């Protein structure tokens, strides 16, 4: 197995020898949990664009990655924050991404796909009203539905700025949910993922915000398939899960505690809509397959080693997690470069990437250690490390 020198916290280099990868047999639905991977986009490194200002997408590689996810039996959650939505990728590009993904999904009978609809084409500001926010949501929801897509209703930065009370959230969500054709997944994205969303649902206290969210959902429960909560706090997720109206699912967005939350307890469980499933898709598929066969031990044996990796990728500042997700795809040969929309390949330190490599290897997630080590050496060389 290949050995390379990687930086450690002392500032020195330490030899690291990779281990053989784990065999993750691909499983096929039906699983006993619904499972979506929130997937990234592959940038086009050859485009003559300024990456901080304008997204250039490699459409072929981006669609190939979605086919990879579907081939493993997982669903695709499209055009969300994992795809740098509102963080380098604008609404017109997002809509084209949704269109292409919906077309690609036709090649996979029964494939799950949800598409993000929000208000990111509306610039938040003092002059923006609640009616402006509502119209922005209506525009994007209508565009997704026109393509035949199912909606993941994303949190709105403009709504945070425009709302004066929880009643404004109830008004906006009530209006939108009253119009959608199919039940949606509501995404409550916490401020650790996007600082501009602090105070969502009308309160900075998450439990008080939860009261307002539950009320809005209960008033429109027939139009809500589920809620994806991304607060990185299992106790808050469980508390909300137990309060949801009957028939409304909880989709965990907790990239720290997903194993426990998916397994559930005597009072219920969470389905999954996770950014980390982008990076650990083969393990996620195999674990869910085992769990659906009643093999709980294998479920935990497969996923437990992925949790330290996930917690590292999603460590604070959490909003930079996308760098680790894309780096995993590069190491595993699912794209041929480590260039990102918005230039976010620079958002994590060299030490961070070195630890990611070690944790991914420990979890058996480097599918070809020779290739991964060679690519790691290239990245380290660019960053001034002789690996």
Average pLDDT over residues 84-109: 96
Q: What is the pLDDT of residue 177?
A: 98
- Give the strand pairing for 184-189 and 224-230: parallel
pLDDT at 52 over 90: no
Q: What is the pLDDT of residue 24?
A: 96
Q: Per the domain annotation, does 21 fall within a domain?
A: no
Residues 319-352: tens digit of each pLDDT: 999 999 999 999 999 999 999 999 999 999 999 9
Residues 116-132: tens digit of each pLDDT: 999 999 999 999 999 99
Residues 139-194: tens digit of each pLDDT: 999 999 999 999 999 999 999 999 999 999 999 999 999 999 999 999 999 999 99
Q: Per the domain annotation, does 42 fall within a domain?
A: yes
Q: Which helix (H) or strand (E) holds 263?
A: helix 258-263
Residues 220-277: tens digit of each pLDDT: 999 999 999 999 999 999 999 999 999 999 999 999 999 999 999 999 999 999 999 9
Q: Per the domain annotation, does 12 fall within a domain?
A: no
Q: Per the domain annotation, does 160 fall within a domain?
A: yes
Distance CA 90, CA 27 (A): 34
Output phi, psi for 195, to 5 deg: -55, -25
Task: Tell me the pTM.
Answer: 0.97
What value does the mean pLDDT of the chain take? 97
Q: What is the pLDDT of residue 381?
A: 96
Q: Residue 82 is encoded by which pair of tokens?
A: 């994992």
CATH number for the domain spanning 336: value is 3.20.20.70
Q: Per the domain annotation, does 168 fall within a domain?
A: yes
| Best CA proximity match to 153, nearest among 213, 212, 111 | 213
Largest CA-CA distance found in the chain, in angstroms, rounded: 60
Q: Per the domain annotation, does 156 fall within a domain?
A: yes
Domain residue limits at 36: 26-352
Q: Are 227 and 258 in contact (CB under 8 A)?
A: no
DSSP letter at 246 equals: T
Distance CA 173, CA 158 (A): 13
What's the total number of domains in the chain?
1
Q: Per the domain annotation, does 366 fall within a domain?
A: no
Q: Residue 17 is encoded by which pair of tokens?
A: 């020898």
| Residues 6+ positions from 351 with CB-CB distance below 8 Å | 7, 8, 9
Q: Per the domain annotation, does 8 fall within a domain?
A: no
pLDDT at 387 over 80: no
pLDDT at 28 over 90: no
pLDDT at 311 over 80: yes
Distance CA 174, CA 309 (A): 39
């Amino acid at each position: 197995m290949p050995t390379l020198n990687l930086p450690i916290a002392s500032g020195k280099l330490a030899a690291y020898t990779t281990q053989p990868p784990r065999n993750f047999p691909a499983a096929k639905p039906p699983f006993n949990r619904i499972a979506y991977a929130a997937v990234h986009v592959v940038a086009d490194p050859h485009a003559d664009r300024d990456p901080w200002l304008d997204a250039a997408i490699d459409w072929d590689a981006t669609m190939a990655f979605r086919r990879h996810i579907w081939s493993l039996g997982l669903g695709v959650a499209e055009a969300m924050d994992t795809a740098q939505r509102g963080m380098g990728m604008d609404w017109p590009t997002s809509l084209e991404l949704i269109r292409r993904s919906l077309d690609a999904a036709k090649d996979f009978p029964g494939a799950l796909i949800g598409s993000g609809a929000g208000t990111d084409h509306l610039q938040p500001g003092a002059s923006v009203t609640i009616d402006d926010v509502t119209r922005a949501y209506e525009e994007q929801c209508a565009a997704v539905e026109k393509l035949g897509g199912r909606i993941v209703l994303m949190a709105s930065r403009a709504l945070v700025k425009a709302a004066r009370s929880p009643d404004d959230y109830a008004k906006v969500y009530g209006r939108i949910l009253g119009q959608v054709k199919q039940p949606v997944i509501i995404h409550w994205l916490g401020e650790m993922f996007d600082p501009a969303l602090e105070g969502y649902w009308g309160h900075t206290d998450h439990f008080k915000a939860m009261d307002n969210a539950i009320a809005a959902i209960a008033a429109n429960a027939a139009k809500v398939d589920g809620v994806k909560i991304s607060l990185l706090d299992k106790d808050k997720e469980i508390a909300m899960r137990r309060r949801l109206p009957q028939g409304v699912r909880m989709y965990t967005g907790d990239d720290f505690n997903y194993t426990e939350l998916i397994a559930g307890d005597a009072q219920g469980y969470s389905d999954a809509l996770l950014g980390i499933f982008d990076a650990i898709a083969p393990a996620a598929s195999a674990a869910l397959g085992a769990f659906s066969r009643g093999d709980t031990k294998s479920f935990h044996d497969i996923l437990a080693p992925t949790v330290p990796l996930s917690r590292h990728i999603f460590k604070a500042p959490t909003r930079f997690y996308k760098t680790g997700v894309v780096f995993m795809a590069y190491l595993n040969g699912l794209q041929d470069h480590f260039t990102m929309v918005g230039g976010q390949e620079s958002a994590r330190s060299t030490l961070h990437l070195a630890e990611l490599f070690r944790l991914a290897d420990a979890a058996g997630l480097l599918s070809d250690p020779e290739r991964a080590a060679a690519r790691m050496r290239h990245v380290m060389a660019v960053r001034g490390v002789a690996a």
